[in-house]
Amino acid sequence: MLKRFIYVKFQKEGVHCYPAAATDPSLATGDWDDVSFLGNPHFHYFHFNIAIEVFENDRDIEFIQFSRWLQRLYSEENTLELNSKSCEMLAEELIDQIKQKYPGRDIKADVSEDNINGAYLEYKA
């Protein structure tokens, strides 16, 4: 069975932290694998690669309109203040928004920090 998807990519500046990293002994190890610094607010370029199922080959969902709508979800702030949200949390929130606007479609969301490390979530309608 052939499944069709379109995808759009965009990036936003953001600040977040991982509070547990400062105190959890498995993260704040004091050794080569210490990531306690993640407990403090820090900056990233968050990269979004979002795919949505389409049912025909000719602009079932128009790329530019889809991209603009997604980016408007974050347009109120120049730099996202994400508190302790992870890439996984951002991807899941975005999928929830997309499901409301475009019900009955499979969705894939890839959210990464600095286009290096991130999370990939798939929603099956």
DSSP class per residue in 100-118: HHSTT--EEEEEEETTTEE
- The count of C-alpha atoms lying within 13 angstroms of the C-alpha of 54, restricted to the half-sphere facing its C-beta, is 15
- The whole-number mean pLDDT for each consecutive block of 10 residues of the chain, a chain of 125 residues, reads 96 94 97 97 96 96 96 79 92 96 98 98 98
- Distance from C-alpha of 11 to C-alpha of 46, rounded to nearest angstrom: 5
pLDDT for 115:
97
Both tokens assigned to 70: 């997604």
pTM for the predicted model, two decimal places: 0.92
- Distance from C-alpha of 69 to C-alpha of 46, rounded to nearest angstrom: 17
